[in-house]
Amino acid sequence: MSKFAVTNANTGEVEKEFDSVPVEEIPDYIDRAHEAFLSWKDTPLHERAAILRTFADLVDDNADRMTDIIGREMGKIKKQGFAEVDKVARTARWMADNAAANLAPTHLEAAGAASSYVEHQPLGVLLGIMPWNFPYNQIARFVLPNLMVGNTIMMKQASICPESSQLFEDLLTEAGLPKGVYQNIYLDSSHAEEVLKDFRVKGFSLTGSEGAGASVAAIAAKYYKRAVLELGGNDPAVVLDSQDVPALAQKLVGLRLANAGQVCTSPKRFIVVDDLYDEFLAETIKAVEATKISTFDDPEVGMGPVSSEAARDEIVERIQKAVTDGATLHTGGEKLDRPGWFMSPAVLSDIDPKSDLGCNELFGPAVMVYRAKDEEDALRLANDTEYGLMSSVWTDDLEKGQAFASKVNAGMTLINGHMESGPEYPFGGINRSGYGRENAQWAFQAFTNEHLIRVHA
Instruction: Report yes or no on 425 lying in a domain.
Output: no
In this structure, are 438 and 360 located in the same domain?
no
In this structure, are 56 and 119 located in the same domain?
yes
In this structure, are 266 and 210 located in the same domain?
no
Number of domains the chain contains: 2
In this structure, are 209 and 78 located in the same domain?
yes
Query: Domain containing 145 — which CATH number?
Result: 3.40.605.10
In this structure, are 342 and 403 located in the same domain?
yes
CA 234 to CA 333: how far, in whole Å?
18
Distance in Å from the first CA to the final CA of the chain:
59
In this structure, are 215 and 280 located in the same domain?
no
Q: Point out the residues that are catalytic.
A: 230, 264
User: Using only C-alpha atoms, what is the Rg of the chain?
Assistant: 23
Phi, psi torsion values for 453, nearest 5 degrees: -125, 120
b/e string for 72-90 if b means 16 or more Cβ within 10 A?
A: bbbbbbbebbeebbebbbb
Query: Domain containing 372 — which CATH number?
Result: 3.40.309.10
In this structure, are 388 and 435 located in the same domain?
no
Q: What is the DSSP code string of 407-441?
A: TS-SSEEEES--S---TTS-B---GGGEE--BSHH
Give residue 347's domain range.
Answer: 236-415
Q: What is the DSSP code string of 323-378?
A: HHTT-EEEE---B-SSSSS-B--EEEES--TTSHHHHS---SSEEEEEEESSHHHH
Instruction: Report yes or no on 421 lying in a domain.
Output: no
Is the C-alpha dihedral spanning 289, 290, 291, 294 positive or negative?
positive
**CA–CA distances in Å: residue 396 to residues 273, 281, 399, 416:** 14, 19, 9, 8
In this structure, are 306 and 227 located in the same domain?
no
User: Which H or E element spans position 117?
Assistant: strand 115-122
Q: Where are the alpha helices (DSSP H) in 104-209?
A: 137-149, 162-174, 192-196
In this structure, are 132 and 240 located in the same domain?
no
In this structure, are 441 and 407 located in the same domain?
no
In this structure, are 178 and 100 located in the same domain?
yes
Instruction: Report yes or no on 91 lying in a domain.
Output: yes
Q: Taking the CB of residue 310, how many other CB atoms lie within 10 A of it? A: 10
In this structure, are 115 and 149 located in the same domain?
yes
pLDDT tens series, the chain, 457 aa: 578 999 999 999 999 999 999 999 999 999 999 999 999 999 999 999 999 999 999 999 999 999 999 999 999 999 999 999 999 999 999 999 999 999 999 999 999 999 999 999 999 999 999 999 999 999 999 999 999 999 999 999 999 999 999 999 999 999 999 999 999 999 999 999 999 999 999 999 999 988 999 999 999 999 999 999 999 999 999 999 999 999 999 999 999 999 999 999 999 999 999 999 999 999 999 999 999 999 999 999 999 999 999 999 999 999 999 999 999 999 999 999 999 999 999 999 999 999 999 999 999 999 999 999 999 999 999 999 999 999 999 999 999 999 999 999 999 999 999 999 999 999 999 999 999 999 999 999 999 999 999 999 9
